[in-house]
Structure 1
Amino acid sequence: MTSVFDATVCELGEGPLWHPLRQQLYWFDITGRTLYTQTDDETKAVRFDTFVSAAGWIDANRLMIASARELFIHDLNSGTNTHVCPLEADNAVTRSNDGRADPQGGFWIGTMGCNAEQDAGAIYRWYRGELRRLFAPITISNAISFAPDSRTAFFTDSAVAKVMRVTLDADGWPNSEPEVFLDLGPAGREPDGAVIDRDGLMWLAEWGSSRVAAYAPDGSLVRTVPVDAPHTTCPAFGGPDLTTLFCASARQGLTASGRAAAPLSGMTFTAANVARGQQEHQVIL
């Protein structure tokens, strides 16, 4: 069982990122348009004027952040933002969702409809100045993650409940057709965000299931970590030795009675000595 890492309640907590240089966890409340971090038991918040959902670290002071309309660089010290490129800027229906840096220094980001409109989204990769659409249509982009071999990527359309696997070339671009890695449809589970640990296990948040589940490279279920919130959204590994599991959660989608029954929903959770994660990859400009 996890415990509460931070009691800040997010309507739609997402995108936890352990910054290896700052030794801090960052996470988002997408609909709250806020980036959070915790230092010395103090929670700090940075507000934005649009939805923000995912980040990758560039150096000790800068993050690449995905918003509803662009990728931009956020300076953690000065608070200034620098535009990188548009992200479906002409489409008022969509926003960014799940994202993660890849082993080659690129940044993958998914989009989706603000109201989960069917097939409204896509998955993109930014790499050395180029933003390229990789997979479409996607209804709810999630589970963007990378195996330790640096040649395998994963993603899902949560609405389909299938986690896909695709091989990458030396520069990190997909060079095969995606194949099914996990089909959670028969079990009635919905895949959300995911991260791969150092041994190649996928730690997958399962929306509506109050858990993070670990799957082996052959797709078999290895173990589960219960979370005291129905809607787990995305895990991350952090801490000095990367053995601490963090997980964001959401209140979105819960009825009033559901929120009352799960009062910790929307908080960010932690569990010690679960597995050893990979260090989050650096975005190379």
Structure 2
Amino acid sequence: MTVPSHDARIYDTRICRLGEGPLWHPRRGQLFWFDILGGRLLSRSPAGEDLSWLFPEMVSAAGWVDDDRLLIASERALFVFDLETGNRTDLAALEADDPLTRSNDGRADPWGGFWIGTMAKTGAPGHGAIYRWYGGRLERLRGGMGIPNAICFAPDRSAAWYADTSDAVIWRQPLDAAGWPEGAPQVFVDLRPEGIHPDGAVVDAEGCLWNARWGAGQVVRYSPEGKVIDSIALPVAQTTCPAFGGTDLKSLYVTSAADGDTSPDAGLTWLVADMAVTGLPEPRVVLPRVALSRVVLAQEMPEAGR
């Protein structure tokens, strides 16, 4: 199946140094995404108003908890953030004792957990890891990575995918009935011979993986067998992550990064409307039933756009 039109238009004109982590909130009907290096969570209201929350640390990925709360991954912690009040509830420290690393790509899993990757702030190899937060605990799943990316899950819950951007490989990890890794990961796509670096990814309702290619200005669709079956070209080089959204989940949003890209529109957020394939609604993050203290972390910041 192919996309009838691959025309990408600008969705949001605010420049992100490192746009990442697009998330369509199914209850709010609203897209959220991050500028990691700018410490910002970005969104637009249903009326088209620019929304932004500024944090004192890098933030990179999120899952939705309920109508007003997101679980957010930062360079130091996983926390729940109330969009209406600006209150933060810490859930778990995330390599808080290592000032040289930060969070990167992440996504909620179908069991109500949340997977998150970490990496060296310099991108140095060997410092990256992937964790799963589930049932109130954070467990390290894999270490010794460069830049973990492309975390997403099969519609039938049989597997997770993730990439190491620096190693140019996308992996398929079988999962058990509770969503934990079962057995060794398998190479899904090896892009080393082509010199292509896989970035963020999302899975559609047909079980195909849409992967952004860092440095190549593309989002490529892979079949469940790892074959390229479609692609979308964007007018920027540093495409970072796609996300399905819209009322019918047939809009594809794509974030990009301005750092390292001389394209005139680098760092903007893009939209490809009227896709021929449908995305999957993002699963809800399920919180443990414990009382945690709250602190105000961020303030909504008015913006005038680009």
Q: What are the superposed Cα offsets for residues 132-189 of structure 1, whole Å, 9 maximum, x if unpaired? A: 0001111101000001111210001111111000111111111110010001111221
Alignment equivalent of 2:31, drawn from 19, 25, 28: 25
* Structure-1 residue corresponding to 2:102: 95
Distance 1:193 1:157 in 2: 10
Distance 1:151 1:124 in 2: 18
* Structure-1 residue corresponding to 2:11: 5
* Structure-1 residue corresponding to 2:279: 277
Q: Which blocks of at least 5 consecutive residues in structure 2 are unaligned?
A: 1-6, 288-306
Taking structure 2 as the reference length, the TM-score comes to: 0.90
- Give the number of equivalent residue pairs: 279
Aligned-residue offset at 1:272? 1.0
Q: Which blocks of at least 5 consecutive residues in structure 1 are unaligned?
A: none
The secondary structure found in structure 1 opposite 2:193 is: coil
Q: What are the superposed Cα offsets for residues 226-263 of structure 1, whole Å, 9 maximum, x if unpaired? A: 11110000000000010000000001223xxxx2xx11
Taking structure 1 as the reference length, the TM-score comes to: 0.97
Give RMSD over aligned pairs. 0.7
* Structure-1 residue corresponding to 2:74: 67
Q: Does 1:82 align with 2:82?
A: no
Aligned-residue offset at 1:42? 1.3
* Structure-1 residue corresponding to 2:194: 187
Aligned-residue offset at 1:128? 1.0
Deviation beyond 2 Å, 4+ runs, structure 1: none
- With CA pairs under 8 Å and 6+ residues apart, which has the higher RCO, 1 or 2? 2
Distance 2:274 2:106 in 1: 25
Letter in 1 for 2:15: V
Letter in 1 for 2:29: Q
Alignment equivalent of 1:143, drawn from 129, 146, 150: 150
Letter in 2 for 1:76: L
Q: What are the superposed Cα offsets for residues 83-137 of structure 1, whole Å, 9 maximum, x if unpaired? A: 1110000001100000000011110000000010111110000001010000111
Aligned identity (percent) is 49
Superposition pairs of residues 1-285 of structure 1, within 5 angstroms = 1-39=7-45, 40-254=47-261, 259=262, 262-274=263-275, 275-285=277-287
Distance 2:183 2:213 in 1: 26
